[in-house]
Structure 1
Amino acid sequence: MADLQLSADEEMVERLLDAAARGDLGQVSSVLSRAPSLIDRTGSRGWTALMFGARNGHYDVVKELLDRGCDRFSVNASSQTAYDISKFWGHGHVCRLLGRTDAPGENYFGRETLDRLSARRTDQAWLEARRTAADTVYLLFSKLSPMVSTSCRRQGGQPELRLCRLGHDAVKPLLQKPSTVLVFLGVERTDPPSPSRQADEAPRDPPAWFAVGTEEDADEFLAGGGEEKRLFPRSSHRDLLTLSEDEAGVVAQARSVLAWHSRYSFCSTCGGGTRLEDGGYKRSCLNAECPSLRGVHNTCYPRVDPVVIMLVIHPDGQQCLLGRKKMFPAGMFSCLAGFVEPGETLEEAVRRETQEESGVKVGRVQYVSCQPWPMPSSLMIGCLAIAVTTDIRVDENEIEEARWFSRQQVMDSLLDGAQRVLTVPPRQTIAHQLIKHWIGMNANL
């Protein structure tokens, strides 16, 4: 009998761990409601349900386990806590939930405010119901510029831009036009249902968000904002950097997909017309004979362009290489960068671009972090690179000047009131974050 009981317990533990790994909140809650003592039981390698949830970034599962009193400090066979695991895999939102302040750095435009709910993109009935729901949020983009308001102000009186959140009735006239592009962005992240909720009370879908893109003059939508002033920013590289971290993440997703639609309205295989599918995440050719309709093709899905951006470190560890383009403000220097070519590794792209732009050869390359950059749709892959030569020969087609700067000079550029020999890009850019990352490192790389 004892063996049978042990077998039943083990089966329940496996169900709990599997559900936590998959992010099945309902199953996790069901198992623990029947057997709460299993919450800290381990499977292979000494992993608990909390560790599996943290490994895969399942915020709701981790929160449920914490609310039920799991041991957040237990360690696995490799002496790793759930926090250690979530930090290694880059799940900053889970790290913060676990109560640690040294979570992985989060670059601007990178915050995942919404649950993209990609499995729902092909569910036309569900999407149609969400389009007309009273709590659905629409973001309006005119020529890739989001409608914002300036009703709030930061300290010092400077205007702060906020996204205008519209309802279905406000955008209905645009949705009826064939040239309008509609993209499903996801749903708001919500806490798990309260235990006090009635058993017969059906769970409600969280509010859905959509992006509406138009190339038409949308000035008529600027009225009706009450006391707030509405506008469509025209300087995306400057104005979009004033949004909050939460809203910047949504804009990065929406603007990148809308930019793809604006550039790929025709089939890139045969030149025929296309139609939108999958909630705005696919364009299918209308030509039944088009090769893109057979087999696997990447021409009908949103494009993301990988870009390496690197801070090149002098062999002495005390200097870094920065360059400037003619378009930069006077005195500004930044990290070198360039597009990854087909069939090229990130490391080789870093080495090639550095040598092409500055003449400096680099050896070791270390990945640091990445940043979505929705102008129009790039993924900035941030790296540190260790130079093996130091002579600079600038390719003036790419940049106009490149120089080695000392650690102290770079530190001064980040301090208010310090005497500066250069300025660096704003904090919202990954270049700024790479520079800060290097400043905070030990000089012995």
Structure 2
Amino acid sequence: MVPRLCKVGLFFKSRKRFKIFRSVSVINMSSRTGPEDTKKPFVDKYFECAENGNKEELSFLLKSTVNVDQRNEKGWTALMFAARHGQTGVIETLLEKGCDTNIVNKTGQTAQDIALFWDQNLAAKLIEAHMKEENPDQQLRNFFSLNHLDRASEKRKDKDWLQAKISDETSQFLLLSELKPFVLPIKDKTSKWRYRLCWLDHNKISSHLTSDTVILFLGIDHSSSQSLFAIDVSGKEESKFKDLQPEGSFMVPFPGSLQMEPSDAGIFAEARSMMDWLERYKFCATCGSSTDITEGGHKRVCRNQECKSNKGIHNTAYPRTDPSVIMLVISADGKRCLLGRKKQFPAKMWSCLAGFMEPGESIEDTVRREVEEESGVKVGRVDYHSSQPWPFPASLMLGTIAYAKTEDIKVDEDEMEDAQWFRRPEIVQMLTHQHPQGLYIPPEQAIAHQIIKSWVRNTASSNL
């Protein structure tokens, strides 16, 4: 075997402990030593620093070698080790570095769960305070729902105000081409997100504003008081907009938007759903006449003055949202949950059952009907969990927990490929990508992931 030279921080391995020196040196390593083997001593030291409260070495490792959300074979992160041992200084450092507080280990616990279990109350409060800063209302905020803009609906009817803001040098504009947003890459290596929206001021985009340009008023930024708009530049050569921002590009919305910074994803959800509606409904759904855009893009008015839509309030003139239900079905003994596979799912992915609501139907009755139609299982009680806007094109997913009265499965083969009951340990494996057969659930940006994870967390202390 031929040794190779590798410039790394010199380390010394003893039976119980690694010691890291900050000088750069040379280590002879076998050519058979892979990248993960080379990295392991540093990862082990990183977890040890978190456990022992060594902030200085932990910070050095984060700068040079280790990812802040690195996990060990049991799914534990540095934040979990620090929470277990009440190392508040390390917790503060990790939170400042942008660690993910929502990661679960192989037993389905978050760092906060671990701190509470081991009576590390100060550590638990510190993590909770950080979570409050990110989400002040303390309710679950699913991806695409973190839109912090003041939508200022009272301003939409004020044509003079809107026109003044469109011409205001401080106003910011988001470009959409064929519903693709103009975005910038995120260069911060500590961020797990890859894109952010690219905002351009009036001076940069004024030449693209014509009488035919669709301009959508999105709202007012609370922090800067700037008015934000989206404009449709479909049909124009996309490469020309590189001159406005060389690093910018038009991103394919799905799955690209799942890699956006969450607050930007919420604004994008509003912009895309609204712009899609404006594109689809150019003609009156009541009489078929052409329509005009009013109220900053939030209403279409039929040009036929005799049309019924111009007399009273009619939903044909306003944007539509399609409500759908998505539910995790729990067995009567509470030890299993029901997941399904649609034919269009990626291989080995399982998820909650879901379906659209019908007119005159409650959320609870929709859940019962859809579960029985898709799986043959009858459901009794239904509890609300959370909701998620889904801008493809404009759905509102209503997440629920449903409790089964029966267990026999009879799959609707027109909609489903399969449906099965899974025990909690197997769900945890799927959640943490540790399943022996490679089965997994949707990513954290999907409401299905959050519903499933909430059941896993709520049953963490039970022996299922």
TM (norm. structure 2) is 0.68
State the AA in 1 paired with 2:230. A
Matches within 5 A, 1:11-410: 96=132, 103-150=138-185, 152=187, 154=189, 160-178=194-212, 180-190=213-223, 206-225=225-244, 228=247, 230-234=248-252, 236-410=253-427
Q: CA deviation at 1:138?
A: 0.3
Percentage identity across aligned positions?
45
CA 1:149–1:112 in 2, change beyond 3 Å: closer, same or farther? closer
Q: Distance in 1 between matches of 2:273 and 2:137?
A: 30
Query: Any conservation in 2 of the 1:139–1:166 contact (CA below 8 Å)?
Result: yes
Task: Encode CA deviations 1:129-183: one digit per residue, 9 max, x unaligned.
Answer: 1111111110011111101122525459x881121111123332332041x3211
Q: Distance in 2 between matches of 1:384 and 1:218?
A: 47
CA 1:404–1:159 in 2, change beyond 3 Å: closer, same or farther? closer
Task: Encode CA deviations 1:271-305: one digit per residue, 9 max, x unaligned.
Answer: 00111111110000001111100122111001000
State the AA in 2 paired with 1:135. T
TM (norm. structure 1) is 0.71
Q: Distance in 1 between matches of 2:398 and 2:272?
A: 19
Task: Encode CA deviations 1:350-398: one digit per residue, 9 max, x unaligned.
Answer: 0111111111111100001000110100000000001111111111211
Q: CA deviation at 1:221?
A: 3.8
Q: CA RMSD in A?
A: 2.6
Aligned residue for 1:113, secondary structure, equals coil
Q: Distance in 1 between matches of 2:239 and 2:428?
A: 48
Alignment correspondent of 2:105: none
Aligned residue for 2:163, secondary structure, equals helix
Q: CA deviation at 1:225?
A: 4.9
State the AA in 2 paired with 1:108. F
Aligned residue for 1:256, secondary structure, equals helix
CA 1:316–1:109 in 2, change beyond 3 Å: closer, same or farther? same
Which ranges in structure 1 are unaligned for 5 or more consecutive residues?
Answer: 1-91, 191-204
Which ranges in structure 2 are unaligned for 5 or more consecutive residues?
Answer: 1-127
Query: Any conservation in 2 of the 1:409–1:420 contact (CA below 8 Å)?
Result: no
State the AA in 1 paired with 2:249. L
Task: Encode CA deviations 1:307-354: one digit per residue, 9 max, x unaligned.
Answer: 100011111111111111222111000111111000000000001111
Query: Structure 1 stretches (4+) deviating beyond 3 angstroms?
Result: 99-102, 153-156, 416-421, 442-445
Task: Encode CA deviations 1:80-135: one digit per residue, 9 max, x unaligned.
Answer: xxxxxxxxxxxx99x936x9989221111111221111111111111111111111
State the AA in 1 paired with 2:251. P
CA 1:159–1:186 in 2, change beyond 3 Å: closer, same or farther? closer
Q: Once structures 1 and 2 are overlaid, which stretch shifts more, 141-150 or 212-221?
A: 212-221
State the AA in 1 paired with 2:175. L
CA 1:175–1:152 in 2, change beyond 3 Å: closer, same or farther? same
Query: Any conservation in 2 of the 1:425–1:432 contact (CA below 8 Å)?
Result: yes
